[in-house]
Amino acid sequence: MSLREILKQKLDTFPDERLRQVADFIEFLEFRTQKANTLNLSDDTPKEQVLSDFRQAWHEAMTEQGMPVDRLWEELKNE
């Protein structure tokens, strides 16, 4: 089973509030990618670190330990 199929199965079991969190996280990733592309930054972060950071962010999002999205957007805009 592909990763895309696994994610689709998981998403089908999530309540609407959890789906909103996932959507917010995806928007954050897109914003971060867009910002990096705009600044023409090359990302030489090791793959292991990227995966570790993603796992931590995902865990925080799923356990509601992360920063509220509106606050996160404000902090990113102020960078």
pLDDT on residue 15: 92
The identity of residue 9, as a single letter, is: Q
pLDDT on residue 2: 93
What is the spatial distance between Cα 18 and Cα 21, in angstroms, rounded to a whole number?
Answer: 5
* pTM given for the model: 0.46
- Three-state DSSP at 2 gives coil
End-to-end CA distance of the chain: 40
pLDDT on residue 40: 54
* pLDDT tens digits along 6-53: 999 999 999 998 999 998 988 888 888 877 666 655 567 788 888 888
Contact yes or no for 55/16 (Cβ under 8 A): no
Q: How many CA atoms lie within 13 A of 2 on its CB side?
A: 3
Place of tokens 């999530």: 14
Statement: residue 75 has pLDDT above 80: no
